[in-house]
Amino acid sequence: MGGIDISVSRCEVAGEMVLTDQTQNECALEHHCPKGTKCPLDGCFAVHSGVAEAHPECKVKKSAAKKSAR
DSSP-based helix, strand, coil % in the chain, nearest 5: 20, 10, 70
Which amino acid, residue 29? L
pLDDT-based confidence at residue 64 (cuts at 50, 70, 90):
very low
Q: Largest Cα–Cα distance in the chain?
A: 43
First and final C-alpha spacing in the chain: 18
Residue 6 has pLDDT above 70, yes or no: yes
Task: Give residue-wise pLDDT tens across range 10-55.
Answer: 999 999 999 999 999 999 999 999 999 999 999 999 888 876 665 5
Q: Which of 40, 33, 37 is nearest to 12 (CA)?
A: 40
Is 0.75 topped by the overall pTM?
Answer: no
